[in-house]
Structure 1
Amino acid sequence: MAALSGGEICIKYLMFVFNLVFWLAGTAVFAIGLWLRLDPTTKGLFEGSDSPFLLYTGVYMLIGAGALMMVVGFLGCCGAIQESPCMLGLFFFFLLIIFAIEVAAGIWVFSNQSKIVDDFTKIYMQTYNDFKTTGDERLKQMLQLIQEKLNCCGPDGSAVETAKDTCPRGEPLEQLIIKSCPDAIDEVFNSKLHIMGGLGITVGVVMVFGMIFTMLLCCAIRKSREVV
């Protein structure tokens, strides 16, 4: 059995580093999904018959995607280090599936942008109205989190007395001109969607290179084992 050439060894270790980063990214996605699902601040949003479908589905997609990325990263790391064509083949197969899902998800997001904005607005309005009705501390924390991140206050740029302390703190003038949360949600999606699209394209390109390197490494390993 012949040894791998210098260039092939370079590809081998590049594959290992790529998959280590991929595994770490999967771990982060998995952890974020679990945190959103189990944290007391957000847990209430996923329980009950009136749980928002988009949010409920999204958090489980995060958990599933993170778990799949961890498995794929592990296969890629082990396959590269152990020079296993079987593991590398499985890695290529799963990476191809993830790439196809990413493309499908990107097309779906861009074609359903207005629906996504409407769904997130409904989630906000449901949380806001439920807090006004019940005064639940968990809903208050959720409102504070949403409104501070979006720098908004209430459905119309103000809030009734029961929900006033959930709005971001600031100078009196800033509080007078603060935007409404439905407008802030719409603005975020319209202004940030091209950034998310760019990130998605970048990740897709990295995946394509990962698949190419996997094929090259597999071919090199098989060729080296055939040479006596």
Structure 2
Amino acid sequence: MDTCSQLCKGILTLFQVLYSLVGTVLFGVGLWLRFSPNTRESYELSSLFATGVIVLIVLGVVMLFVACCGGGNKRNRSMLAVLLALLAVLIAAQIAVYAKRDEIGVRFLGFYTVLYTIFSLTGDPIVAGILTVLHHTLNCCGAVGVVGLDAVSGTCPNKSGFDVFMSSCITVIPNVFGAKPPLAMAIFFGNGVFLILTLVCAVILIQLLKKHHNSLLGSY
């Protein structure tokens, strides 16, 4: 069981590192979109954009908090129990996202449209980074879908020669789960599997710590 314990601790450490990094990025990007001169007006005028920004900030904070619970708690049953509860909530939230995929796709499209407009008008570097991640993850390119002709072509996957045609993000995003872009689906389901694996490891460590504690009591 010692090997199993070390493996689970390693998985929890990996979970902490990944969620800390992603949570920090999401939180930082959310704050930039909220307070940057290029995006502040859009935040105030567009409810869909404001909702997207708030989701980024809240998700970043939640991921950082969960990562903290998954860090130095590997020998603390109470903290592992808290982590277990938080993981269950995250898994339930991911299931809820998939169940509401059509509604979320429409809201996501509104958020994307505002990002597209902001970058077209200002060339904001953070917005450019967001669009680059979205275009590569969803395998789409802007509103037109033709690399080189679209206003955000610089953030789209590289194409060469005559192979410049891609799906328009305007058509992909509303049906993102139905269209099933490979990378997007890999991230979505991969995260679900990773959460379940981390939850299982937390349960195993709780049981091992409980047995260890009982054996210590039995030795007296």
> Could you tell me the TM-score, scaled by structure 2's length?
0.72
The residue matched to 1:213 in structure 2 has which SS? helix
Q: Aligned to 1:220, which of 180, 194, 212?
A: 212
- Counterpart residue identity of residue 100, structure 2: N
Q: Aligned to 2:51, which of 48, 53, 57?
A: 53
**Distance change in 2, residues 1:154/1:202 (3 Å):** closer
Q: Which residue of 2 aligns with 1:171?
A: 160
Unpaired stretches in structure 2, ≥5 consecutive residues? none
Cα contact 1:121–1:185 (8 A) shared by 2: yes
> Could you tell me the TM-score, scaled by structure 1's length?
0.70
Aligned residue-pair number: 207
The residue matched to 1:91 in structure 2 has which SS? helix
Q: Equivalents in 2 of 1:99, 1:45: separation in Å? A: 33
Cα contact 2:141–2:153 (8 A) shared by 1: no
**Distance change in 2, residues 1:95/1:164 (3 Å):** closer
1:117 to 2:105 alignment: yes
Shift of 1:73: 1.9
**Distance change in 2, residues 1:217/1:53 (3 Å):** same
Offset from partner CA, 1:51-75 (integer Å, 9 cap, x none): 3303421332123222322233212
**Distance change in 2, residues 1:129/1:93 (3 Å):** same
Q: Which residue of 2 aligns with 1:65?
A: 63
Q: Aligned to 1:182, which of 170, 194, 202?
A: 170
Cα contact 2:16–2:67 (8 A) shared by 1: yes
Q: Which has the higher contact order (CA 8 A, sep 6+)?
A: 1
Q: Counterparts of 1:31-110 in structure 2 under 5 Å?
A: 31-37=24-30, 45=39, 48-49=43-44, 50=46, 51-76=49-74, 79=75, 87-88=76-77, 90-110=78-98
Percent identity between matched residues is 17
Cα contact 2:12–2:201 (8 A) shared by 1: no
Q: Equivalents in 1 of 2:6, 2:130: separation in Å? A: 46
Unpaired stretches in structure 1, ≥5 consecutive residues? 1-6, 80-86
Q: Which residue of 2 aligns with 1:17?
A: 10
- Counterpart residue identity of residue 216, structure 1: L
Deviates more, 1:42-51 or 1:94-103: 42-51
Q: Counterparts of 1:123-202 in structure 2 under 5 Å?
A: 123-132=111-120, 135-138=121-124, 141=128, 145=132, 148-149=135-136, 150-157=138-145, 163=151, 166=154, 168=156, 170-171=159-160, 173-175=162-164, 177-186=165-174, 188-190=176-178, 191=180, 192=182, 195=186, 196-197=188-189, 199-202=191-194
Q: More helix by proportion, 1 or 2?
A: 1
